[in-house]
Structure 1
Amino acid sequence: MDKVKILERYLPPDAAPLIGRWIDYFKCEFKISRNRGTKFGDYRAPHDGKGHRISVNYDLNPYAFLVTTVHEFAHLHTWNEHKHKAKPHGAEWKNNFKKMMQPFFEKEVFPPDVKQAIHSYLSNPAASSCSDLNLYRSLRKYDPQKEFVFTVEKIPAKALFKIKDGRVFRKEEKLRKRYKCIEVKSKRIYLFSPVAEVELVEE
C-alpha cells in the first residue's frame, strides 16, 4: 500500500504527503510502534549497517503524531548536519524543529491552541522535549476521552489512584513541578508528573 495512504490514518491528511517525502529523502526506516508509556517517539542514528530509524506510537491523536514525527525528523536532520557534536535538544535541534514545522503552519494543519503551544514551546529554552506540559495539555485535548482515566493534577488531594501495574497511591501536596504521592503498600514516596494518567480507586 502507498505509504502516504498509510500515513493518512495517523496524521492530519494534509501533512501525510510531506512526511512521505521526508521518509524517502532521508532514506529513513519509519515504524509505527506500539504504545510506549515513557515516550511518544524515538530516533536512532545510523549504526551497525542500519540507516536512520524513527518510530512513533500508533495510538497518538493526529496532531500529537505529527508533532512527534517532526520532533524525531529534526533529530535526524541535526545528526546529518552535526553528528554527535550537537546536544539532543540544543540550539541546532530547536532551529531545525522550527524550520521543519513551518510547512505545516503554512498549511494550517494545527488548531490555533496547538499552534500557539508549539510556538511557546519553541521560544522556551528550558523546555527540552515533548514533555513540555503546556504543549502536552494542548495535544491531549484532541485525544479520544477515556472513561475512568484522569491525570494526577485533576484528582483531589488525598485521593487514592492506581497505575497500570496495579500499584495504589495516595496523592499528597505539589512539590514544585511534580506531585508527591505515597504508595499505600510500601509507604514509599514517589513523584508524579501532573499529566500522568491514572485510575481513581474508591476508599
Structure 2
Amino acid sequence: MDKVKVLERYLPPDAAPLIGRWIDYFKCEFKISRNRGTKFGDYRAPFDGKGHRISVNYDLNPYAFLVTTVHEFAHLHTWNEHKHKVKPHGAEWKANFKRMMQPFFQKEVFPPDIKLAISNYLDNPAASSCSDLNLYRSLRKYDPVKESVHTVEKIPIKSVFKIKDGRVFRKEEKLRKRYKCVEISTKRVYLFSPVAEVELVEG
C-alpha cells in the first residue's frame, strides 16, 4: 500500500505527503510502533549495517503523532550534520526542529493552541525536549476521552491510584515539578510527573 495512504491514518492528512517524502529522502526505516509507556517515539542512528530508523507509537492522536515524527526527523537531520558531536536536544537539534516544523505551520495543520505551545516550546531554551508540560497538555486535549484515566495533577491529595503494571500508590504533596507518591505495599516513595496517567482506586 502507498505509504502516504498509511500515514494518513495516523497524521493530519495534509501532513502525510511531506512525511512520506522525508522517509524517502533520508532513506529512513519508519515504523509505527506499539505503545511504549515511557516514550512517544524513538530515533536510532545508522549502526551495524542498518540505516536511519524512526518509530512512533501508533496510538497517539494525529497532532501528537506529527509533533513526535518531526521531533525524531530533527534528530536524524542533526545526526547527518554533526554525528555524535552535539547534545541530543541542543541548539542544533532545536534549530532543525524549528525549521522542519515550518511547512506544517504554513499549511495550518495545527489548531491555534498547539501551534502556540510549539512556538513557545521552541522559543524556550530551558525546555530540553518534548517533556515540555505545556506542549504535552495541549496535545493531550485532542486525545479520545478515557473515562477511567486521570492525570496525577488532577486528582486530590491522598487519592489512591494504580498504574498500568497494577501497583497502587497514594498521592502526597508536590515537590517542585513532581508529586511525591507512596507505594501502598512497600511504603517506598516515588516521584510522578504531573501528567502521568493513572486510574483511581475506589476506597
Task: Name the TM-score, length of structure 2 as normaliser.
Answer: 0.99
- In structure 2, the residue matched to 1:121 is 121
- In structure 1, the residue matched to 2:24 is 24
- In structure 2, the residue matched to 1:168 is 168
2:192 counterpart of 1:192:
yes
- In structure 2, the residue matched to 1:56 is 56
- Distance between the aligned counterparts of 1:96 and 1:24, measured in 2? 18
- 1:14-55 Cα shifts (integer Å, max 9, x gaps): 000000000000000000000000000000000000000000
- In structure 1, the residue matched to 2:181 is 181
Question: 1:79-98, aligned counterparts within 5 Å?
Answer: 79-98=79-98
- Distance between the aligned counterparts of 2:36 and 2:117, measured in 1? 23
- Distance between the aligned counterparts of 1:90 and 1:129, measured in 2? 9
Give every structure 1 segment of 4 or more consecutive aligned residues whose post-TM-superposition deviation is greater than 2 Å: none
- 1:50-101 Cα shifts (integer Å, max 9, x gaps): 0000000000000000000000000000000000111100000000000000
- Distance between the aligned counterparts of 1:51 and 1:63, measured in 2? 27
- Distance between the aligned counterparts of 1:176 and 1:123, measured in 2? 23
Partner-residue secondary structure (3-state), 1:85: coil
Partner-residue secondary structure (3-state), 1:80: helix
- RMSD of aligned residue pairs (Cα, Å): 0.4
Q: Which amino acid in 2 is paired with 1:163?
A: I
- In structure 2, the residue matched to 1:155 is 155
Report the count of equivalent residues.
Answer: 203
- In structure 2, the residue matched to 1:77 is 77
- 1:125-155 Cα shifts (integer Å, max 9, x gaps): 1111111100000000000001210000000
- Distance between the aligned counterparts of 2:88 and 2:16, measured in 1? 26
- Distance between the aligned counterparts of 1:44 and 1:66, measured in 2? 18
Kindly state the Cα deviation for residue 172 of structure 1 after the two structures are TM-superposed: 0.4
- 1:148-192 Cα shifts (integer Å, max 9, x gaps): 100000000001000011111000000000000011111110000
- Distance between the aligned counterparts of 1:146 and 1:122, measured in 2? 30
- Distance between the aligned counterparts of 2:128 and 2:34, measured in 1? 24
Specify every segment of 5 or more residues in structure 2 that has no aligned partner in the other structure, as ranges. Answer: none
- In structure 2, the residue matched to 1:109 is 109
Q: Which amino acid in 1 is paired with 2:24?
A: D
Specify every segment of 5 or more residues in structure 1 that has no aligned partner in the other structure, as ranges. Answer: none
- Distance between the aligned counterparts of 2:189 and 2:84, measured in 1? 37
Partner-residue secondary structure (3-state), 1:179: strand
- Distance between the aligned counterparts of 1:79 and 1:55, measured in 2? 16
Partner-residue secondary structure (3-state), 2:172: strand
